Amino acid sequence: MATQLELARQGKITEAMEIVAKQEKMDVNLIRERVAEGTITICANVNHTSLIPRGVGKGLSTKVNANIGTSSAYPDIEPELIKLQAAIDAGADAVMDLSTGDNIDMSRRAIIEKSTVMVGTVPIYQATVDAIKKHGAVVDMTADDLLHAIAVQAKDGADFMTIHCGVTREVIQRMRKQGRIADVVSRGGSFITGWMLHNQKENPLYERYDDILDICRQYDVTISLGDGLRPGCLADATDRAQIQELIILGELVDRAWAKGVQVLVEGPGHVPFDQIAANMKLQKQLCKGAPFYVLGPLVTDVAPGYDHITSAIGGTLAAANGADFLCYVTPAEHLALPTIEDVHEGVIASRIAAHAADIVKGIPGAKDWDLKMAKARKALDWQEQLKLAIDPKKAERYRNARNTPNTEACSMCGDYCAMKIVGEYLNKPMDLCD
């Protein structure tokens, strides 16, 4: 079976391309051309039957991902399925199942079955949990264990998979030489780094990359090249290890495209505001325009409880400078497993960042949305304002809680509403002789 990338190269327009073109208000032939060149990815596993395809990449609206999944402390899948629906209802374009608790297979399959949006996974999580059960320790995990987890998740319908192929011995050595404050904060990156240091061997995900691509091609899984050494604090941003890994990821992009496999490239992380634009442009250059998927970036380390805000600040600048896909950060980041409300708040914050960037990027329809809201505010049309709000239910709660029924203005200004006062006078004819 041919992948979206291979079909696009053959000049064929698929149903998924037509759906994406309609969503984005773009010519389907342009979608096909960019899929063919790799600058647009349509993450759509052939076995994910409930999926409504979406595109990620050049010229498309900035997409938002929400992370969900069980943990060893909270192994129950039911709350995660509620979070899945909460993320979709809030407007997420994708979810990632990061389950590490018991019954990982059951959790993933339930999420994929019920999800109408793209589902991503991180196979090394399952491989490490299984390795502990099978061998007694993560460091005893084998290359075959890793490939088995990738194959199972691909067959189950994962649309994209984060795989940490760029963490090589050379990259780790650069990190050790330069030194870091937070070392490795990627969970998958830490697993593979620990394995390599213990066994004194090269990363099996790097050595077996061609085998991984064969699995991905079979199900049209998009490989999301994970940044295992992404900076976990501002002090570690844009260091030699991060950039060396990115160089390797650029080479792996070429190899994936050569095999007909679609690619995303993952990026930082914690990055000072003034370094974000350079990071985005460097990735696009080294990875030949492959879609870029970033976590945040978070622009400060000191806001636990508000990291959805620090993430949105960085996400806006990142997307305006070329990032295509934002992974949300919730208020619970660095503190705890997110609640359903945290998931909602994280998605909305990232969607605000994405939309602000889409206005800058000239995405079709982005400015129109704001113009409609401006006109509704001028007309004091509250129903239209609530309808247009990015989070209508929250906006309605505030409106109803602090205003009397049928009030024309809002309780902030009351009788002194600027738009109402000026509107009354502007609508009167002027006496030009006065």
Cα–Cα distance for residue pair 35/6, rounded to 1 Å: 9
For the chain, the average pLDDT equals 94
Q: Please tell me whether 293 is known to bind a ligand.
A: yes
Q: Which pLDDT score is estimated for 229?
A: 96
Overall average pLDDT of the 120-131 stretch: 95
Query: Over the stretch 24-41, which tens digit does the pLDDT of each residue have?
Result: 999 999 999 999 999 999
Q: Tokens 């941003």 correspond to what residue?
A: 237
Confidence of residue 194 (pLDDT cuts 50, 70, 90): very high
Which of 38, 95, 60, 9 minimizes the C-alpha distance to 262?
Answer: 38
Overall average pLDDT of the 220-249 stretch: 97
Q: Which pLDDT score is estimated for 101?
A: 77
Confidence of residue 430 (pLDDT cuts 50, 70, 90): low
More confident site: 249 or 404: 249
More confident site: 428 or 113: 113
Q: Which pLDDT score is estimated for 417?
A: 73
Q: Which pLDDT score is estimated for 433?
A: 46
Q: Tokens 């800058």 correspond to what residue?
A: 360
Q: Please tell me whether 109 is known to bind a ligand.
A: no
Confidence of residue 263 (pLDDT cuts 50, 70, 90): very high
Q: Please tell me whether 43 is known to bind a ligand.
A: no
**Which contacts (CB < 8 Å, 24+ apart) does range 366-369 have?**
366/61
According to DSSP H, which parts of 235-339 are helical? 240-258, 273-286, 307-320
The residue extents of the domains of the chain are 4-361, 366-426
Confidence of residue 411 (pLDDT cuts 50, 70, 90): low
- CA-derived radius of gyration, the chain: 23
More confident site: 434 or 130: 130
Q: Please tell me whether 48 is known to bind a ligand.
A: no
Query: How many residues belong to the chain?
Result: 434
Of the chain, the percentage scoring pLDDT greater than 90 comes to: 88
Q: Please tell me whether 328 is known to bind a ligand.
A: no
Of the chain, the percentage scoring pLDDT greater than 70 comes to: 96
Q: Please tell me whether 425 is known to bind a ligand.
A: no
429 has a pLDDT exceeding 70: no
374 has a pLDDT exceeding 50: yes
**What is the reported pTM?**
0.94
Q: Please tell me whether 342 is known to bind a ligand.
A: no
Q: Please tell me whether 334 is known to bind a ligand.
A: yes
Q: Please tell me whether 230 is known to bind a ligand.
A: yes
Say if residues 56 and 354 touch (Cβ distance below 8 Å). Answer: no
In the structure encoding, which two tokens stand for residue 127, read together? Answer: 């491989």
Cα–Cα distance for residue pair 112/115, rounded to 1 Å: 5
CATH superfamily of 4-361: Radical SAM ThiC family, central domain (3.20.20.540)
Q: Please tell me whether 410 is known to bind a ligand.
A: yes
Beta bridge pairs of residue 126 = none
Say if residues 178 and 241 touch (Cβ distance below 8 Å). Answer: yes
More confident site: 103 or 405: 103
Q: Please tell me whether 17 is known to bind a ligand.
A: no
Q: Please tell me whether 186 is known to bind a ligand.
A: yes
Q: Which pLDDT score is estimated for 404?
A: 77
More confident site: 205 or 420: 205
More confident site: 344 or 100: 344
Question: Rounded to 5, what percent of the chain is helix, strand, coil?
Answer: 55, 10, 35
214 has a pLDDT exceeding 80: yes
> How far apart, in Å, are the Cα atoms of 177 and each of 98, 171, 221, 259?
31, 10, 36, 35
How many helices (H) and strands (E) the chain has is answered by: 19, 10
Q: How many CB atoms lie within 10 A of CB 183?
A: 16
Reduce the DSSP state of residue 399 to 3 states and report it.
helix
240 has a pLDDT exceeding 90: yes
Name the least confident of 338-342, 406-410, 428-432: 428-432
Q: Please tell me whether 115 is known to bind a ligand.
A: no
3 has a pLDDT exceeding 50: yes
Q: Please tell me whether 344 is known to bind a ligand.
A: no
Is the four-CA dihedral 28, 355, 91, 264 of positive or negative sign?
positive
First to last CA, the chain: 79
Say if residues 336 and 306 touch (Cβ distance below 8 Å). Answer: no
Q: Which pLDDT score is estimated for 103?
A: 85
135 has a pLDDT exceeding 60: yes
414 has a pLDDT exceeding 80: no
43 has a pLDDT exceeding 60: yes
408 has a pLDDT exceeding 80: no
Q: Please tell me whether 308 is known to bind a ligand.
A: no
Confidence of residue 406 (pLDDT cuts 50, 70, 90): confident
Q: Please tell me whether 417 is known to bind a ligand.
A: yes
Q: Tokens 């099978």 correspond to what residue?
A: 134
